[in-house]
Chain A
């Protein structure tokens, strides 16, 4: 069955996923240490939307607007950023197993953030820049390690990524344990990913960076489809491979830096979500990228809702939830590739 990609299909798919995201956000607002009834929540949201939210009880407002909503918003931003970065790395490195976490790019961003926090403690808003620089350096290192005889070797790349990730994680642990007395977020935050700490940067800025980074990558969506068959093939079909690689490489690094600076290293989202979206909607990047952004937001909001409710009142790091599901998916994809 052929379903050509049309603007209509693109919009309908995104609208459908957007609807699911709204539903997931609604239920994520409902669940927590204190459960809120669906009716109460719906009435409150309706009143807030129509400018009459002040009439609600103050603790109710506090829980929904000041505690749960900022965290959900952060989850959406992180999910979208990591998923788009994952899909981009998969095309850029022509490796279906590429993911910011697996490749060590998240660890690079984490280390960059921590070094910025140590050196420029008075400027917490500088953290994302450190994260971006760390992501760029880690991607370059992995890219170089993955070269074999002038070509990118799938397994050399993966091994290079895993080694980079463990080396950088060791550096993060070293810095975290030796540099005490500073207000750094916990070890779990940087190594596992955690959404419980509010971002030092206003959410509006995070959304802006997300839109710019993803938008830049999206301008190359049609080229990425051709890049999947190799750089030579893409070039013979008129793709300016050098330009596309730079845009996607910088865009994906910005997105990874953005996600890591506010949530630490949440793993496997960039691997799972693009593959799931491919299974559902095909691998055309013009549809895949926006669908992946929405899918990533859905998955991380769901994972974080579970992380803060399954063993409530104790909260798990969200990265533990994504890794619990993501690691088996990774093994499955790897085995299928070997077979």
Chain B
């Protein structure tokens, strides 16, 4: 068993519930208070509305946002990232409203790993990762030894250190995802957001990535929020999940609290079976045939 597996075992939801890692007095890192958003074309009816939602994402924890396509996951993520300002309510990071932070400060506090990172010209892994120091530099400033040390550490934590001299466009999907994660860690944020980071990854790479995220959340004290379609991975690795449906926040809680068979069947519109393992982790099995 490698150390990663051990960590995963020790931090199963049941074990995590029994052993809180944050001091009780520590306020939540990210607080969402009745935040809502609506896409409205000029003079028209709203195309999509994310109804008022409230939850917290504490430091050292992994929060997963779940829901079908078009349920509002990406809109919610953009509210958390501060690129959208809520129509009502607030999204606060350590007491500051994220959409009001200036761009540079926001980039020092929030890192976002997007689904796709298009590259126009070939770039080496190291040069890509060091870009994460951009919010800390001004003008043309060249990276100093501190920046390089931060980038090296991030590459190690993301598991990308051994290919830092390679070209980005020659990496596999899993390797590229680790490099993008390393750049986000180089930003040294308080809040790490990831938009479907396991998309296009094989199952081993998916598990590896989520294990790393858990370890990073614990070691660096980050609040990590992941948008995902992978119900079982979320159940295994997330401390809390937020279930969205049609712009409504249906449930917020631990995977065991949220993964109710009837609820999931209704949200995902398919027959499925939920069973809970001896460790208290729910497991979802999809039933292909009509019952």
* With contact pairs A237-B107, A238-B135 given, residues A2 and B118 touching in the complex (Cβ less than 8 Å): no
**A residues in contact with B142, CB < 8 Å:** 5-7, 286
The yes or no answer to A199 lying at the interface (CB within 8 A) is no
Contact check, B131 vs A238: say whether CB atoms are below 8 A apart.
no
Contact assessment for B117 and A236 in the assembled complex, using a CB-CB cutoff below 8 Å: no
Q: Is the CB of B165 within 8 A of A1?
A: yes
In the assembled complex, the Cα of A252 lies from the Cα of B221 at a distance in Å of: 44
Q: Are A90 and B83 in contact (CB under 8 A)?
A: no
Whole-angstrom distance between the Cβ of B12 and the nearest chain A Cβ: 32
Contacts of A147 in B (CB 8 A): none
- The verdict on A238 contacting B117 (CB below 8 Å), with A1-B165, A222-B140 known, is no
Is the CB of A4 closer than 8 A to any CB of chain B? yes
Contact A228-B120, Cβ < 8 Å, known A7-B142, A222-B134, A238-B135: yes
Known: A235-B103, A238-B107, A284-B127. A229 touches B119 (CB 8 A): yes
| A278 interface residue (CB < 8 Å to B) | yes
Within B113-165, the residues touching A (CB, 8 Å) are: 114, 117-124, 126-127, 130-132, 134-135, 137, 139-143, 148, 164-165
Cβ contact within 8 Å between B135 and A237: yes
Give the complex CA separation of A239 and B135 in angstroms: 8
Residue pair A229, B117 in contact (C-beta under 8 Å): yes
In the complex, the chain A residue whose C-beta lies closest to that of B105 is A238
Pick the residue among B81, B124, B135 that contacts A2 (CB under 8 A).
B124
Are B114 and A232 in contact (CB-based, < 8 A)?
yes
A260 within 8 Å of B (CB atoms):
no
Provide the residues of chain B in CB contact with A240, threshold 8 Å.
103
Query: Given A229-B117, A237-B131, A238-B135, are A2 and B106 neighbors across the interface (CB < 8 Å)?
Result: no
The listed residue (A1, A6, A238, A278) touching B121 by CB distance below 8 A is A278
**Beta-carbon contacts under 8 Å, A1-20 to B:** 1-2, 4-7
Q: Is the C-beta of B188 less than 8 angstroms from some C-beta in chain A?
A: no
Most chain B beta-carbon contacts within 10 A, residue among A2, A222, A229, A284: A229
Contact between chains at A2 and B164 (CB < 8 Å):
yes
Measured in the bound complex, the distance between the Cα atoms of B111 and A179 in whole Å is 60
Residue of B nearest to A2 (CB): B126
Instruction: Report yes or no: B140 in contact with A283, Cβ–Cβ below 8 A.
Output: no
Q: Does residue A230 face the partner (Cβ distance < 8 Å to B)? A: yes
Check if B120 sits within 8 Å of A236, measured CB to CB: no
Q: Which of B107, B132, B137, B148 contacts A222 (CB 8 A)?
A: B137
Q: With an 8 A cutoff between CB atoms, is B104 at the interface?
A: yes
Find out whether the CB atom of B106 lies under 8 angstroms from the CB atom of A238: yes
Interface centre among A4, A226, A239, A286 (most CB of B within 10 A): A4
Interface of A is mostly: loop
Contact with B along A237-270 (1 / 0, CB 8 A): 1111000000000000000000000000000000
The count of chain A contact residues (Cβ–Cβ below 8 Å) is 34
Q: Which residue from chain A places its CB closest to the CB of B111 in the assembled complex?
A: A236
Whether a CB of chain A sits under 8 angstroms from the CB of B62 is no
Is B187 engaged at the interface, CB distance under 8 Å to the other chain? Answer: yes
Q: Does the CB pair B124–A238 fall under 8 Å?
A: no
Q: Do A228 and B140 touch across chains, with their CB atoms under 8 A apart?
A: no
- Selected from B117, B120, B127, B143, the residue in CB contact (under 8 A) with A90 is B120
How many angstroms from the CA of A90 to the CA of B121 in the assembled complex? 10
A235 close to B104 (CB less than 8 A): no
Known A229-B119, A230-B118; contact A236-B112, beta-carbon cutoff 8 A: yes
CA distance A4 to B124 in the complex (A): 10
Report the minimal beta-carbon distance from A252 to chain B, rounded to whole angstroms: 16
The answer to the question of A40 belonging to the interface, with a C-beta cut-off of 8 Å to chain B, is no
Question: In the complex the two chains form, what is the Cα distance from A238 to B124 in whole Å?
Answer: 21
**Interface residue ranges of B59-88 to A (CB < 8 Å):** 81, 83
**Distance of A178 Cα from B130 Cα, bound (Å):** 57
Across-interface contacts of A219 in B (CB, < 8 A)? 139-140
For residue A222, which residues in chain B have a CB less than 8 angstroms away from its CB? 134, 137, 139-141
Nearest B residue to A6 by beta-carbon distance?
B142
What is the CB-to-nearest-CB distance from A216 to chain B, in angstroms, rounded to a whole number? 13
Expressed in whole angstroms, the Cα–Cα distance for A163 and B243 within the complex equals 50
| Cβ-defined contact, A239 with B143, below 8 A | no
B83 contacts across to A, CB distance below 8 A: 232, 235-236
Distance to closest chain A CB from B163 (angstroms): 11
Evaluate contact between B140 and A282: CB separation under 8 angstroms: no
Q: Complex formed: what's the CA distance from A235 to B143 in Å? A: 20
In the assembled complex, which residues on chain B have CB atoms less than 8 Å from the CB atom of A4?
Answer: 126-127, 130, 143, 148
> A165 to B290, alpha carbons, bound, how many Å?
60
Residues 49-102 (chain A) with a chain B CB within 8 angstroms:
90-91, 94-96
Interface residues of A in 190-241 (CB under 8 A from B): 218-219, 221-223, 225-226, 228-230, 232-233, 235-240
List chain B residues, Cβ under 8 A from A94: 120
| Min CB–CB distance B186 → chain A (angstroms) | 10
Chain A residues engaging chain B, CB cutoff 8 angstroms = 1-2, 4-7, 90-91, 94-96, 218-219, 221-223, 225-226, 228-230, 232-233, 235-240, 278, 282-284, 286
22 pairs of residues in contact across A and B, judged by CB atoms under 8 Å? A2-B164, A4-B130, A90-B120, A94-B120, A95-B120, A96-B121, A221-B140, A222-B137, A226-B131, A226-B134, A228-B120, A229-B119, A230-B118, A233-B114, A236-B83, A236-B107, A237-B131, A237-B134, A237-B187, A239-B103, A282-B127, A283-B122
Known A2-B164, A238-B108; further 9 A-B contacts with Cβ < 8 A: A4-B127, A95-B120, A230-B118, A236-B107, A237-B131, A237-B187, A238-B107, A282-B127, A283-B121
Q: Which 6 A-B pairs have the closest CB atoms?
A: A238-B107, A238-B135, A283-B121, A238-B104, A228-B120, A2-B126
B residues neighboring A (CB under 8 Å): 81, 83, 103-104, 106-108, 110-112, 114, 117-124, 126-127, 130-132, 134-135, 137, 139-143, 148, 164-165, 187
